[in-house]
A and B are shown apart, each in its own frame.
Chain A
C-alpha cells in the first residue's frame, strides 16, 4: 500500500527566508506525486505535480519540488517566502494507472511566516 510521510508538523520561517518542506513516500511502482496547499477555511489547491521526466518540477506561486527516487522523497521548496505563504501543505502520492483517482495524502505541514 502506498503511504506518505511529512515529518514536520509545523515549520516557522521568517518572511524572505527560504522554505523546504519534506515529503517521503512509499510506493511499489513509479509514483505520481503532488503538492497541495490549503489556506485557512479553504479547500486544497494544486501547487505542482510530478509524473515523469525532469525531476525538478516548477509550480505556481514560485514553488518547486525535486523528485529523488533513491531517497523516496519529493521535497517542496521556495527561495523566498511571503506572508501569504502561511498555510498548510500536503504531499500526496497517486496510483500509477489512475493518478489522482486514489490519492494518499501525508499528514500535512503547517507553515507559519514571521514578519
Chain B
C-alpha cells in the first residue's frame, strides 16, 4: 500500500521561483489537505479539498495555490517563492467519515534562499 506519496522529498528554490509540490493518494480518499510544519508551531493548514473540483483555504493560504482535478492528486503550487515559505510541507488525506483519521505523507522539506 503506497498510501500518501509526496514528491520531491527535498527542494531548494531561489526567491521568486515557482514550483509545484506533488501529492498523490491511492486510498480513494475524498478529503485531502496540505499543512506546513514550522518549529514550535505544530502543523498549520494551508489548503484543503473535500473532493475533486472543490478546494478551500485553511489557516495560512497566502502564497499558495491548489487544484483538485482528480480524486488521487492534490498539488500545491508556490507561485513566487519567499524565504518565509521555507518549511516542511505535509500532505494528508482521509475518508469523509467523521471517525476517519488523517493519513500523512512523509513530507517535503523546502528551502527558499
Identify the A interface with B (CB < 8 A).
4, 6, 9, 32, 34, 36, 41-46, 49, 51, 90, 92, 97-108
Contacts and interface: CB of A to CB of B under 8 A. Distances in A.
Interface string B92-108: 10100011111011110
Nearest to A34: B101
Interface residues of B, number: 26
A43 B6 CA distance: 10
Contacts of B42: 4, 6, 90, 92, 105-108
Given A101-B31, A105-B43, A107-B42, A44 B90 contact: yes
Contact of A107 (B4, B31, B40, B92): B40
B99 A43 contact: no
Given A49-B99, A90-B42, 6 more contacts: A43-B104, A43-B107, A45-B104, A97-B98, A100-B100, A104-B45
B41 interface: yes
B104 A44 contact: yes
A25 to B, nearest CB: 12
Contacts of B43: 44, 90, 92, 103, 105
B74 interface: no
Contacts of A90: 42-43
B29 to A, nearest CB: 11
B13 interface: no
Interface string B60-84: 0000000000000000000000000
Nearest to B106: A43
B48 to A, nearest CB: 7
B99 A51 contact: yes
Contacts of B105: 43
Contacts of A99: 98-99
A108 B59 CA distance: 18
A44 B99 contact: no
B31 to A, nearest CB: 6
